[in-house]
Amino acid sequence: MILEIIIIILGLLVVIFGYTTFNLLRKNERAEDIIVSQQEFINKIDKQITFTEKKLNQIDEKGLFKSDDEIGWFFNEIKVLQKKLSQFKINL
């Protein structure tokens, strides 16, 4: 009688632990998928920041935008934004 009760309790514990393990595994895989997609997004942004920084430096070498006040101001603001993005990229 006691042995049967112990077997039933152990059986229930196996079922409960099995369910909780499966549930946690499913949640962990979902979280890993989210992390992978976010990492891919960050990599794309990183490539875009690098490309933009190179292009901005190429344009800046010629000094074409410094002569005009309005365009020069706008170009300087773009450079400031690019610097902040580059600093953000470095901190990652």
**DSSP string of 44-73?**
HHHHHHHHHHHHHHHHHHHT-SSSSHHHHH
Confidence label for 87 from pLDDT (cuts 50, 70 and 90):
confident
Angstrom distances, CA of residue 6 to CA of 10, 13, 17, 19, 40: 6, 10, 16, 20, 51
Number of domains in the chain: 1
Confidence label for 10 from pLDDT (cuts 50, 70 and 90):
very high
In the 8-state DSSP scheme, what is residue 65?
S
pLDDT digits 0-9 by tens, 27-86: 999 999 999 999 998 888 888 888 888 887 787 777 666 656 667 777 778 888 888 887
Domain extent at residue 31: 2-91
Q: Is the dihedral of CA 48, 54, 57, 59 positive or negative?
A: negative
Q: CA nearest 53: which of 26, 22, 78, 27?
A: 78
pLDDT of residue 86: 79
